[in-house]
């Protein structure tokens, strides 16, 4: 059995600064979005006093919208960096193209076999392994695009006709999904989709960090990947 | 000599003063501003009268019930005189063969020039035999009358979306009218029933200006369906403050807090109830302490309880909503992760003791 990637030159500079900044900014925004989003769907117990003295739901929604703007703009910046950055900045967007080449699938299935405990060693790559790349696209990239589109469609309902969000998203997303409530439900399920992705993501980065022999967690801080001693 | 609306109204005993008042009222309710009132008056005085044929399919007549309660008695008189002259089997004087003859006569005389208003919808199942007015399946009558119509108005959620008879499992295969009439402009005026003032304003707009009002992508007049109940709700400050009714008999309910947590669909429902209100502006569901049920939205019967915010997701065979589905799946993913980690740890521990061939 061949193990590919053992001839790669480490340490290697993989994740450039904009990618790292985007990663942590996006992660932070996502945590805020989950928390506030949950409380928009299932609000906290009522606050006492006059309505004019309180603005709890307003603040929660504001935090959600503000974090959503950060999330969306960071994602746009990330797409820009996919064009101008190094080749690892492109891989999570270009996987569908890589998949057209039959050779790409070899490492993909070797990784699947490794995770199914059928192979002891996983292939080494400078960036993501091929299974991770596919998951990044299928779960993270598509999930994020879906959340941004449905999210701004819902936002545009409040900002009303004529606002940019309404013109750009609300006007076609709601008719496409049938009605406003369906969009709410899908947006809600989309949040869970990204949550499932995050659970898997966290598990695998920690596992890879321990098992693969390459640095993973620290790479998203320093940008460098290296062979761990041993 | 062609007859105008004004001629008809004068013949019906409506005074000129009342007529002018009606024109101002209509301009106001359409949001057109005072300068448009004389234009409406002029149009009604000079243009030949456009007949309106009103058909009833599979429905409960709540649209008609709403319509004849148009807030201003004047509007009601005027519009009813416009409509009942031609064909509306529920409120017209003629009945039976006489009525059907009147229908055919108007269709012939005003070919391509009358408005068709449809209340209810056609069931297509069993060759349409679930709804037989005048001895023929309604779907045939609908197609027959729609053929030469200038424009079509879909009254209520039945004609617009399907409503209760099209709710799952839709045994009669009832469909909204735009599935049957595909070659005419259709104005959808959803609601179960729609608001009376909205109905009369739409009819007046169409007959007075001889064109259909500006519609959104779902075919609804923008002037009445551009905003959600939530956007203009008088309880909105309680929503923003975070003050909710938790149960229908709690302190919050007495204080008039927001009904969001007891399932109000105001935030997902496009209609004019919170501005126009009902029964001469007396009230609307939220003002009476009950959440909006979203009756003007497509498929509102199939979204689960009227008293819960989150939609039921029936695909799972059990009652579930997005949060339950999400949590269960997160649990499954979490358990899988833990199991995978455990196997990884055991494998690693055992393999460290016996080196494989590759490692020498």
Residue ranges per domain, chain A? 12-43+53-225
A122 confidence band (pLDDT: 50, 70, 90): confident
CA distance B347 to chain A (A): 8
| Residue contact B310–A41, C-beta within 8 A | yes
**Which of 237-266 (B) contact A at CB < 8 A?**
237-244, 246, 252, 257, 260-261, 265
With 70 as the cut, is the pLDDT of residue B353 above it? Answer: no
Report the C-alpha gap between A75 and A25 in whole angstroms. 10
> Lowest-confidence range among A119-133, B153-167, B251-265, B282-296?
A119-133
> Count of CB atoms within 10 A of residue B208's CB?
23
| Residue contact A171–B239, C-beta within 8 A | no
Report the C-alpha gap between B71 and B277 in whole angstroms. 10
**Using an 8 Å Cβ cutoff, are B198 and B272 in contact?**
yes
CA distance B321 to chain A (A): 8
Summarize the confidence of residues B143-160 as an average pLDDT.
Answer: 95
Residue B359: the pLDDT is 45
The tokens for A60 are: 């929660």
Residue ranges per domain, chain B? 5-224, 229-309
Q: Environment class of residue B317 by beta-carbon count within 10 Å: exposed (0-12), middle (13-18) or buried (19+)?
A: exposed
| Residue contact B333–A179, C-beta within 8 A | no
**Using an 8 Å Cβ cutoff, are A228 and A215 in contact?**
yes
**Which of 302-321 (B) contact A at CB < 8 A?**
303, 309-311, 313, 321
> Lowest-confidence range among A188-197, B85-94, B109-118, B157-166?
B85-94
The residue among A85, A74, A60 whose CA lies nearest residue A24 is A74
A196: chain B residues, CB-CB within 8 Å? 329-330, 333
Mutation target to probe the B interface, by most B beta carbons within 10 A, among A185, A186, A206 is A185
Q: Environment class of residue A188 by beta-carbon count within 10 Å: exposed (0-12), middle (13-18) or buried (19+)?
A: buried
CA distance B267 to chain A (A): 8
Mutation target to probe the B interface, by most B beta carbons within 10 A, among A2, A4, A42, A43 is A43
- State pLDDT tens for residues A36-47: 999 999 999 999
| Residue contact B298–A117, C-beta within 8 A | no
- Is domain B229-309 given the CATH code 3.40.605.10 in the classification? no
Per the model's pLDDT, the better-predicted residue between B71 and B126 turns out to be B126
Percent of chain A with pLDDT over 90: 84
Report the C-alpha gap between B272 and B284 in whole angstroms. 10
Which residue of B240, B244, B326 is in closest CB contact with A189?
A: B326
CA distance B176 to chain A (A): 14
Report the C-alpha gap between B158 and A90 in whole angstroms. 50
Summarize the confidence of residues A116-142 as an average pLDDT.
Answer: 92
Stretch (H or E) spanning B13: none
With 50 as the cut, is the pLDDT of residue B360 above it? Answer: no
Percent of chain B with pLDDT over 70: 91
Mutation target to probe the B interface, by most B beta carbons within 10 A, among A186, A188, A209 is A188
CA distance B312 to chain A (A): 9
**Which of 49-68 (B) contact A at CB < 8 A?**
none
**CA–CA distances in Å: residue B129 to residues B48, B58, B171:** 38, 11, 12
Residue B52: the pLDDT is 87
With 50 as the cut, is the pLDDT of residue B104 above it? Answer: yes
Q: Omega of the bond prior to B193 within 30 degrees of 0, cis?
A: yes
**Which of 261-290 (B) contact A at CB < 8 A?**
261, 265, 267-270
- State pLDDT tens for residues B48-80: 888 889 999 999 999 988 888 876 656 666 666
- State pLDDT tens for residues A185-201: 999 999 999 999 999 99
From the options 1.20.1070.10, 3.40.50.700, 3.30.450.20, 3.40.50.300, give the CATH code of B5-224.
3.40.50.700
With 80 as the cut, is the pLDDT of residue A2 above it? Answer: no
Per the model's pLDDT, the better-predicted residue between B234 and A122 turns out to be B234
| Residue contact A200–B347, C-beta within 8 A | no
* Architecture label for domain A12-43+53-225: Up-down Bundle (1.20)
**Using an 8 Å Cβ cutoff, are A229 and A221 in contact?**
no
Secondary structure (H, E, C), B238-286? HHHHCCECCCCCCHHHHHCCECHHHCCCHHHCECCHHHHCECCCCECHH
| Residue contact B322–A207, C-beta within 8 A | no
B309-316: list long-range contacts, CB under 8 Å, 24+ apart: B309/A41, B309/A42, B309/B260, B309/B261, B309/B263, B310/A41, B310/A185, B310/A188, B311/A181, B311/A182, B311/A184, B311/A185, B313/A185, B314/B168
- A-chain residue closest to B265, CA distance: A181
With 70 as the cut, is the pLDDT of residue A105 above it? Answer: yes
| Residue contact B325–A211, C-beta within 8 A | no
B165 confidence band (pLDDT: 50, 70, 90): very high
Residue B146: the pLDDT is 95
- State pLDDT tens for residues B181-229: 999 999 999 999 999 888 888 888 888 788 899 999 999 999 899 999 9
CA distance B26 to chain A (A): 23
With 60 as the cut, is the pLDDT of residue A1 above it? Answer: no
Helical axes A56-84 vs A91-98, angle rounded to 10°: 60
- A-chain residue closest to B260, CA distance: A43
* DSSP character at residue B136: S
> Lowest-confidence range among A146-155, A162-171, A204-213, B341-350?
B341-350
Summarize the confidence of residues B125-143 as an average pLDDT.
Answer: 92
């Amino acid at each position: 059995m061949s193990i590919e990637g053992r001839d790669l030159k480490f340490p290697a500079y993989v994740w450039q600064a904009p990618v790292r900044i985007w990663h942590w900014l996006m992660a932070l925004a996502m945590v805020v979005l989950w928390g506030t989003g949950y409380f928009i769907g299932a609000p906290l117990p009522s606050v006492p006093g006059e309505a004019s003295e309180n603005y709890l739901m307003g603040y929660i929604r504001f935090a959600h919208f503000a974090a959503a703007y950060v999330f969306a703009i960071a994602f746009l910046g990330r797409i820009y960096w996919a064009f101008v950055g190094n080749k690892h900045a492109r891989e999570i967007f270009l996987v569908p193209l890589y998949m057209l080449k039959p050779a790409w699938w070899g490492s993909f299935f070797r990784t699947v076999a490794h995770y199914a405990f059928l192979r002891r060693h996983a292939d080494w790559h400078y960036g993501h392994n091929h299974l991770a790349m596919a998951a990044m696209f299928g779960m993270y990239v598509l999930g994020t695009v879906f959340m941004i589109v449905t999210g701004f469609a819902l936002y545009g309902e409040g900002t009303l006709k004529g606002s940019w969000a309404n013109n750009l998203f609300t006007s076609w997303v709601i008719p496409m999904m049938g009605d406003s409530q369906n969009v709410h439900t899908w947006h809600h399920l989309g949040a869970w989709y990204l949550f499932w992705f995050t659970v898997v993501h966290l598990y695998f980065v920690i596992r890879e960090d321990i098992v693969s022999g390459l640095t993973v967690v620290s790479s998203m801080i320093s940008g460098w990947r290296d062979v761990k001693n041993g | 000599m062609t007859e105008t609306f004004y001629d008809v109204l004068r013949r019906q005993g409506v005074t000129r003063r009342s007529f002018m008042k009606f024109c101002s009222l209509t301009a106001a309710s359409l949001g057109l501003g005072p300068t448009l009132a004389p234009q409406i008056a002029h149009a009604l005085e000079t243009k030949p009268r456009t007949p309106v044929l009103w058909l009833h399919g599979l429905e409960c007549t709540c649209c008609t019930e709403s319509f004849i309660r148009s807030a201003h008695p004047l509007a009601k008189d005027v519009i009813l005189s416009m409509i009942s002259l031609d064909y509306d089997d529920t409120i017209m004087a003629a009945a039976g063969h006489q009525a059907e003859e009147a229908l055919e006569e108007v269709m012939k005389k005003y070919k391509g020039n009358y408005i068709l208003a449809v209340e209810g919808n056609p069931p297509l199942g069993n060759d349409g035999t679930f709804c037989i007015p005048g001895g023929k399946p309604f779907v045939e009558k609908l197609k027959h009358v729609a053929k030469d119509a200038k424009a079509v108005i879909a009254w209520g959620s039945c004609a617009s979306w399907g409503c209760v008879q099209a709710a799952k499992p839709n045994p009669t295969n009832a469909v909204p009218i735009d599935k049957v009439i595909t070659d005419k402009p259709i104005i959808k005026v959803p609601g179960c029933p729609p608001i009376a003032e909205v109905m009369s304003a739409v009819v007046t707009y169409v007959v007075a200006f001889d064109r259909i009002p500006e519609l959104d992508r779902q075919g609804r007049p923008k002037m009445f369906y551009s905003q959600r109940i939530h956007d203009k709700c008088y309880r909105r400050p309680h929503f923003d403050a975070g003050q909710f009714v938790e149960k229908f008999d709690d302190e919050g309910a007495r204080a008039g807090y927001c009904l969001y947590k007891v399932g109000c669909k105001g935030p997902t429902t496009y209609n004019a109830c919170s501005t126009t209100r009902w029964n001469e502006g007396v009230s609307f569901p939220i003002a009476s302490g009950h959440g909006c049920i979203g009756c003007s939205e497509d498929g509102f019967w199939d979204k689960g309880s009227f008293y819960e915010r989150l939609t039921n997701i029936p695909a799972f065979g059990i009652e579930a909503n997005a949060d339950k589905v999400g949590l269960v799946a997160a649990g499954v993913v979490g358990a899988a992760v833990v199991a995978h980690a455990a196997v990884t740890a055991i494998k690693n521990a055992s393999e460290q003791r016996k080196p494989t061939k590759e490692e020498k």
